[in-house]
Structures are given as C-alpha cells and as structure tokens.
Amino acid sequence: MKAALMRSPGVLDVDEVHDPVLPKGGVLLKVLACAVCGTDIKMLEAGHRDLTYPRIPGHEVTAEVLETDISMMRIGDRVQVWPGESCGTCAQCRSGNDHLCPHVKIMGFNTDGGMAEMMAVVDPSRLVPIGNADPMMLTLAEPLACCINAQGKLRVGEGDSVLILGGGPMGCLNAFLARRRGAESVMLSEPVLERLHHVPNGLFDRISQPKGDEIAEMVKRGTHGRGADVIIPCTPNIRLDSNVFGLLAPGGRLCVFSGPRREDSPLPIDVRDMHYRELTVVGSYGHASRHGRDAVKLLREGSDLSWIFTGRYGLEDVRQAFGHASGRTGQKAVITL
Ligand SMILES: [Zn+2]
Ligand SMILES: [Zn+2]
C-alpha cells in the first residue's frame, strides 16, 4: 500500500510499504480521512518525546472496516479511531484515564498512524462507530476530545469569560466547545489575523493581536476589569509567565494545553498570588477514550465545523498538506482517500 513515512526530522515522503494484515481479534481498516495536527508539524520539524522512526504519522483518523476477526464489527462499518493503545488493566485505565496509562502507545508516534491507505487495529475497543456522518468532519473528534478533556478539568461553564491564546484549529475548537458549555464571552489573542478569515462571525466576541498591553486591555474591557475566568493557551508561542497569570480573575483557571517549548518550561510561578487569588493550574495532554466517544457524539449531533478545513489533499500530496498546516494562514489540512 501507499503510505506517508517520516524517516528522520524534516524528512517526509510517500512510499510503497507492506500491507498490514488482519490482527487476531482485531480489524483491518481502509483509511477514509486523516487530518494534520499541529503536533504532526512539530514532530516533523523537531521530533517528539514519543516518536520513533521510521513512522507513518497521523492520529486524527476515520476509516472503514475492510476485514474483521470479531463479530461486533462488520465489513463496511465506519469508525473513528482512538489514538491510544493502553493496557486496560492498570489503575489509570480502570479510572477512565487510559491516556495516562504507563504502557500507552500512541498511533502516529509509537505505532503507525493513519496517513496510509490501510491500518490494522488490534484492540477494537479503540473504534467508535460514526454511522453515515462525514468522515472528514469526524476526524475532528480527536482534537475536539483534547478540548473536552481540558475544559472538563477547567470546569468551563455558564457565565465564564474564556481567553484563548492562538487562533488555529485548537483555539477555534476550544472556542466552539466553550460556547457549547455556556461560556458568556470568548476572547482571542492571535498574531496572524488572516488565519481567521474562514472562522464564522460570533465564534469569538473579541480578538486582539498580542502586542504590548493589547491582550490585557482586551481582557479588561471584555470582563469589566475582572479578568478572565479561564485561559487556554493553544500555541507554544506564548510563555506562561506572570503577565499571563495576571490576566486571570480571582478564582481563575489556566490549562497547560499546548505543549510548551523546553526552554519555556521551567517557570517561576508566584505561589503567593496563586494562594491569595485562589488560582488553579491544570495540565492536559491528549485525551482518554471516553472523551473521544463524547466528541464523536457531539459531532454527530450535526454541528457544522466544515469551515475549519481550509486545505484538502490526496495522500500523495502529504507534504503540501503539512505545508498548509504549518503556514498558519489557513486552519486545518486534511488528507482524504
Ligand atoms: Zn492531534
Ligand atoms: Zn493501563
């Protein structure tokens, strides 16, 4: 079959590889769509903690069952694939946090992913049926599930003012979800305003470019001087320093959502400020399989997020798809087969 292959940092081609075979107790899938994630770009440019080479990338995948070794799946069933392969028996797996399983392997990182014509899945519990829903749209289940994980930890809800840093696909999906959860105002800081051309009016109440005091001014105006209840950084390009913490309202919550750069990672945090103003910092990385099922359900309810796909490519054009996603002038690139 044809597959995209990352061979080393910066090297990505399309090549012929051996067809995967039907695993015992599992399924063989024909890939329908696989979207390009910011993490894929980061992996190609600089490697990743969980990446080993050579690797077929892609963890935002929808597919159709080609062959099956289990009765609960039928040939032709359409599914979304949870990217984790976890042990299923440890304390984290049993508590519903299978993404934190110490043995977890992530598709597209430690195992081959969906930028290929076919893929084999050993554990069918990773598959979520998508019925007749649009397979391209349903690739959003994975990134949306990451937002569901983060916003659950942040307790985003009625009346909250939410500040999103970075207006790429993750910023937009977080804004969409925050509105669904009842947030009263959603503010955005994004340096490249042209990337918002495709974003529907009303997704953000206020937008500013991160220059000087502009974010602080926007937050002040947008919250009657109170500060943001929630901050979700969706770009590694903002250092989470005291300027960011200073934007939080008393009782405010911040999620370390986008993976920070190594050099920005050790930070002096004013714990007295955290104490007196009762601030909360939570981390989130990927999502558990239960968040994936919630995301599929939400997308199947008919939310139209098709505007987020600003680049659609064939598998042979994988490099252009990566170029579109890393150019930061559009939103999401997707490979359809
Ligand atoms: Zn992703
Ligand atoms: Zn486990």
> Could you tell me the CATH number of the domain that includes residue 208?
3.40.50.720
Whether 311 is covered by a domain: the verdict is: yes
**Same domain membership, residue 207 and residue 106:** no
Ligand 2 centroid, distance to 99 Cα (angstroms): 8
Ligand 1 centroid, distance to 37 Cα (angstroms): 4
Ligand 2 centroid, distance to 102 Cα (angstroms): 6
Ligand closest in space to the Cα of 142: 1
CA 210 to chain centre: 23
State residue 213's pLDDT score: 84
**Same domain membership, residue 69 and residue 18:** yes
Whether 291 is covered by a domain: the verdict is: no
Split at pLDDT 50, 70, 90, the class of 259 is confident
Task: Name the residues around ion ligand 2, CB cutoff 5 A.
Answer: 86-87, 90, 93, 101
Contact call for residues 117 and 33 (beta carbons, < 8 A):
no
**Same domain membership, residue 117 and residue 64:** yes
Ligand 2 centroid, distance to 35 Cα (angstroms): 27
Whether 325 is covered by a domain: the verdict is: yes
**CA–CA gap between residue 274 and residue 279 (Å, rounded):** 5
In tens, the pLDDT along 262-296 reads 888 888 788 999 999 999 999 999 999 999 999 99
Whether 28 is covered by a domain: the verdict is: yes
Ligand 2 centroid, distance to 109 Cα (angstroms): 18
**Same domain membership, residue 108 and residue 220:** no
* CATH number (domain holding residue 9): 3.90.180.10
Split at pLDDT 50, 70, 90, the class of 37 is very high
**Same domain membership, residue 130 and residue 153:** no
More confident residue, 306 or 210: 306
Split at pLDDT 50, 70, 90, the class of 211 is confident
Ligand 1 centroid, distance to 248 Cα (angstroms): 27
Contact call for residues 310 and 200 (beta carbons, < 8 A):
no
Whether 299 is covered by a domain: the verdict is: no
Split at pLDDT 50, 70, 90, the class of 48 is confident
CA 120 to chain centre: 22
Helix, strand, coil percent values for the chain (each to nearest 5): 30, 25, 40
Contact call for residues 66 and 118 (beta carbons, < 8 A):
yes
Ligand 1 centroid, distance to 148 Cα (angstroms): 13
In tens, the pLDDT along 71-126 reads 999 999 999 999 999 999 999 999 999 999 999 999 998 899 999 999 999 999 99
State residue 262's pLDDT score: 84
Whether 296 is covered by a domain: the verdict is: no
CA 1 to chain centre: 27
State residue 268's pLDDT score: 79
**Same domain membership, residue 178 and residue 122:** no
**Same domain membership, residue 149 and residue 180:** yes
**Same domain membership, residue 94 and residue 10:** yes
**Same domain membership, residue 136 and residue 6:** yes
Q: Which DSSP state fits 138? A: H
Average pLDDT along the chain: 94
State residue 195's pLDDT score: 85
Ligand closest in space to the Cα of 147: 1
The stretch 228-252 carries a mean pLDDT of: 94
Ligand 2 centroid, distance to 62 Cα (angstroms): 24
Judged against a pLDDT cut of 80, whether residue 50 lies above it is answered with no
The stretch 142-165 carries a mean pLDDT of: 98
Model-level pTM? Answer: 0.95
Judged against a pLDDT cut of 90, whether residue 222 lies above it is answered with yes
Domain that holds residue 55: 2-140+305-336
**Same domain membership, residue 179 and residue 278:** yes
Ligand 2 centroid, distance to 137 Cα (angstroms): 29
Ligand 2 centroid, distance to 82 Cα (angstroms): 15
Task: Name the residues around ion ligand 1, CB cutoff 5 A.
Answer: 37
> What's the number of domains the chain is made of?
2
Judged against a pLDDT cut of 80, whether residue 325 lies above it is answered with yes
**Same domain membership, residue 160 and residue 124:** no
Ligand closest in space to the Cα of 35: 1
Split at pLDDT 50, 70, 90, the class of 36 is very high
Ligand closest in space to the Cα of 95: 2
Whether 290 is covered by a domain: the verdict is: no
Ligand closest in space to the Cα of 100: 2
State residue 272's pLDDT score: 93
Split at pLDDT 50, 70, 90, the class of 226 is very high
Ligand 1 centroid, distance to 38 Cα (angstroms): 7
Ligand 2 centroid, distance to 88 Cα (angstroms): 5
**Same domain membership, residue 136 and residue 35:** yes
Whether 293 is covered by a domain: the verdict is: no
